[in-house]
Amino acid sequence: MMGDPGSAMPLTHRGARFELVPSMQEILCLLDDGRLLVSRSHLQNPSVKAFVARLERISFTHVLHPVEMSDISQAYAGARVTARHEVSGSDMQNYARELFRRAVKLRASDVHIRVSSRSNTRILFRIHNDLEFQEEQTYEFGHQLCTTIYQAMADVADATYETLSSQDARISDRSKIPFGLDGIRVATSPQVDGHVMVLRMLYNDANNSSDTTSLGYTATQAQSFYLMKKKPTGINIVGGPTGSGKSTTLQRLLSSIIRESLGRKNVITVEDPPEYPIPGAVQTPVTNVESEEERARAFQSAIKAAMRLDPDVIMIGEVRDTPSAKLAVQAAMTGHQVWTTLHANGAFQIVDRLVDLGVPAELVCDPAIVTGLTCQRLLKVLCPHCRQPLDQVQASLDQFDVERVRTAVPNAAIYVRGTGCGHCGNAGITGRTVVAETILTDEPLMTLLRRGDRPAAIDYWRAAMRGQTMLDHAVDKIAQGLVDPFQAEDIVGLLDGGVRRLREMAQAN
Ligand SMILES: [Zn+2]
């Protein structure tokens, strides 16, 4: 689960309640939401300790967060610019900044601005994967807002907002984005009666952790990742549909490789586009492309270029066509550790996808070449304050559905999504958590796959390798009261495959 970086104001800057001298402002920042940011290297500093003691004396509720000094200067910078800006009075930029702050506060992944001459401008946030309507404005307001964001806030050389074409840009000027973000990716497109702008919020807390269990992976799965990282060569693939959190997982794994090697490994990424900074990695973007065809070609030449840069570890953002699949496998065969993502519905299905993409089956089923297969989805985490026991609501539900869930998850206190409360911003959910399956390949498993004996391979994986399917993982999380069983079924499929219902209907007839 991810924390909320919020968009709080410092209480320790000049003129504020707890004003500090400039030298202290370099190592400490108290925010008005109670977060106390303290430089990791100065936790034992006597002045820091004295400040904490002072807060405790007056019973000021706070939570200490050890951070980097750059995070602290960023926290102050955001506030200074806001203050300056109110004076200069560019209303539309202020409005945009406030919109971004609200989005970050609600942990929205995207902001959609739909400008339409027929139905005005509608602003929506994507929160926990659902689009939520925020507000309506006039057409002119929306047009002006998009123009301001593109022309005055984004870093584009040719800064003219064209409502009749698709444009891409990025806002990376720290003074224009709220605390908690690394940047905002901007994508625009015309629509029949207006235009659309989609802003992707790039949160910066995603790369502060190199831990996969905090994403929702089990200890056994984290152990599989550990062993994949230990193998010096081979390709490790994370599968799942769009929006299933694959990139976050890869980014955490790469961060941990860099940290554990103490910077002795040359880690190169090829991404289109790079989403998050991975400190310590060389991230190469795919640039200057107009068409899909050009994009594919540019991506392939970026992979080839990366292989010439003497890498130990290569991350390829996504394998999506035959050339990139073949290049990824080739990189693994020439002595590199490769990490990538792929669209697939299950860990074993990754094997099928690679074969579909034209990689010879004998290479795909070689445990020295393909070392790790992972597939993941994201489930919504129930708000612990307003979730409802299934017992209390089951009378209003389909009895087949209730029985199916109770049979699949026996002897557990099962909860469903509540109507929302003050703790969860009336959403009923507080974040998302991974359900996954991981396979660390070996010779016996790959021999079974080469023979085409998938059921035997699955049995071996479950018995000898403690393999757990995504469905098993979801059942565990339902039993812990962490996720709603019916939402889980929407994502990972019916808990019993729906067999029971059909059987009973057949008997009734
Ligand atoms: Zn709640």
- C-alpha 430 to ligand 1 mean position (Å): 8
- C-alpha 373 to ligand 1 mean position (Å): 36
pLDDT over threshold 90, residue 157: no
- C-alpha 106 to ligand 1 mean position (Å): 13
> Which position has the higher pLDDT, 4 or 301?
301
Write b or e for each residue in 445-481: b if 16 or more Cβ atoms lie within 10 A of its Cβ, otherwise e.
Answer: bbebbeeeeeeebbebbeeebebbbbbebbbbbbbeb
Write out the H or E segment, with its range, that includes residue 268: strand 267-271
- C-alpha 100 to ligand 1 mean position (Å): 23
- Whether residues 453 and 411 fall in one domain: no
Report yes or no on 208 lying in a domain: no
Tokens of 38: 């303290």
**What's the CA gap between 205 and 276, in Å, rounded?**
10
- C-alpha 370 to ligand 1 mean position (Å): 43
pLDDT tens column, 53-64? 888 888 888 889
- C-alpha 35 to ligand 1 mean position (Å): 22
Per-residue confidence (pLDDT) for residue 146, from 0 to 100: 94
Report yes or no on 334 lying in a domain: yes
- Whether residues 151 and 223 fall in one domain: no
Per-residue confidence (pLDDT) for residue 89, from 0 to 100: 37
- C-alpha 62 to ligand 1 mean position (Å): 22
Query: CB-based burial of residue 331 (10 Å sphere; 0-12 exposed, 13-18 middle, 19+ buried)?
Result: buried
> Is 300 in contact with 330 (CB distance < 8 Å)?
no
Q: Stretch 314-334: mean pLDDT, rounded?
A: 94
Tokens of 71: 């995070």
Q: For tokens 């994967």, name the residue.
A: 129
pTM: 0.67
- Whether residues 160 and 98 fall in one domain: yes
- Whether residues 440 and 460 fall in one domain: yes
> Which position has the higher pLDDT, 486 or 497?
486
Q: How far from 437 is each of 192, 239, 337, 348, 349, CA to CA, in Å?
A: 42, 10, 21, 9, 11
Report yes or no on 272 lying in a domain: yes
Tokens of 143: 């047009």
Rounded percentage of the chain residues whose pLDDT exceeds 70: 93
Q: Stretch 442-456: mean pLDDT, rounded?
A: 96
Tokens of 372: 């790790």
- C-alpha 289 to ligand 1 mean position (Å): 45
DSSP code at position 152? I
- Whether residues 27 and 40 fall in one domain: yes
Lowest mean pLDDT of 116-125, 371-380, 451-460, 486-495, name the range.
116-125
**What's the CA gap between 368 and 332, in Å, rounded?**
9
Nearest Cα neighbor of 129 from 480, 491, 495 is 491
- Whether residues 226 and 345 fall in one domain: yes
Cis peptide bond N-terminal to 360, omega within 30:
no
pLDDT over threshold 70, residue 271: yes
Quote the number of domains for the chain.
4
pLDDT tens column, 92-145? 999 999 999 999 988 898 999 999 988 889 999 998 878 889 999 888 889 999
- Whether residues 72 and 173 fall in one domain: no
Per-residue confidence (pLDDT) for residue 509, from 0 to 100: 65
**What's the CA gap between 78 and 67, in Å, rounded?**
16
Lowest mean pLDDT of 73-77, 144-148, 337-341, 426-430, name the range.
73-77
pLDDT tens column, 78-92? 765 444 333 333 789
DSSP code at position 50? H
**Domain stop point among 148, 180, 203:** 203
pLDDT tens column, 195-229? 999 999 988 765 455 678 889 999 999 999 999 99
Phi and psi at residue 328, in whole multiples of 5°? -65, -45
Q: Is 82 helix (H, G, I), strand (E, B) or coil?
A: helix
> Which position has the higher pLDDT, 260 or 266?
266
Report yes or no on 10 lying in a domain: no
Where on the phi/psi map is residue 227: left (φ > 0), alpha (ψ -120 to 50), or beta?
A: alpha
CATH code of the domain in which 291 resides: 3.40.50.300
> Is 227 in contact with 465 (CB distance < 8 Å)?
no
Per-residue confidence (pLDDT) for residue 21, from 0 to 100: 83
Per-residue confidence (pLDDT) for residue 81, from 0 to 100: 45
Q: Which one of 108-117, 162-171, 272-281 scores highest in mean pLDDT?
A: 108-117
pLDDT over threshold 80, residue 353: yes
Long-range pairs for 362-366: beta carbons < 8 A, 24 or more residues apart: 362/450, 363/329, 363/333, 364/329, 365/446, 365/447, 365/449, 365/450, 366/446
Write out the H or E segment, with its range, that includes residue 74: helix 69-88
Residues with Cβ within 8 Å of residue 313, at least 6 apart in sequence: 254, 257, 265, 266, 267, 268, 336, 337, 338, 339
- Whether residues 340 and 363 fall in one domain: yes
Per-residue confidence (pLDDT) for residue 2, from 0 to 100: 33
Query: Residues with Cβ within 5 Å of ion ligand 1?
Result: 383, 385-386, 421, 423-424
Report yes or no on 253 lying in a domain: yes
CATH code of the domain in which 123 resides: 3.30.450.90
Give the chain's mean pLDDT. Answer: 88
Within 10 Å of residue 309's Cβ, how many Cβ atoms?
11
Per-residue confidence (pLDDT) for residue 7, from 0 to 100: 62
Per-residue confidence (pLDDT) for residue 110, from 0 to 100: 93
pLDDT tens column, 481-493? 999 999 999 999 9
> Which position has the higher pLDDT, 289 or 403?
403
Strands of 234-239's sheet in order across:
282-285, 267-271, 313-316, 337-342, 234-239, 370-382, 429-440
Report yes or no on 195 lying in a domain: yes
HEC assignment per residue over 439-458: EECCHHHHHHHHCCCHHHHH
Per-residue confidence (pLDDT) for residue 293, from 0 to 100: 84
**Domain stop point among 84, 102, 125:** 84
Per-residue confidence (pLDDT) for residue 179, from 0 to 100: 84
For residue 110, the enclosing domain spans 90-203
- Whether residues 343 and 417 fall in one domain: no
Report yes or no on 224 lying in a domain: yes
Rounded percentage of the chain residues whose pLDDT exceeds 90: 56
- C-alpha 267 to ligand 1 mean position (Å): 41
- Whether residues 354 and 401 fall in one domain: no
- C-alpha 104 to ligand 1 mean position (Å): 18
- Whether residues 38 and 64 fall in one domain: yes
Per-residue confidence (pLDDT) for residue 500, from 0 to 100: 66
- C-alpha 439 to ligand 1 mean position (Å): 36
Where residue 505 falls among pLDDT bands split at 50, 70, 90? confident
Report yes or no on 499 lying in a domain: yes
- Whether residues 262 and 368 fall in one domain: yes
Q: What angle do CA 393, 394, 395 make, to 5 degrees?
A: 95
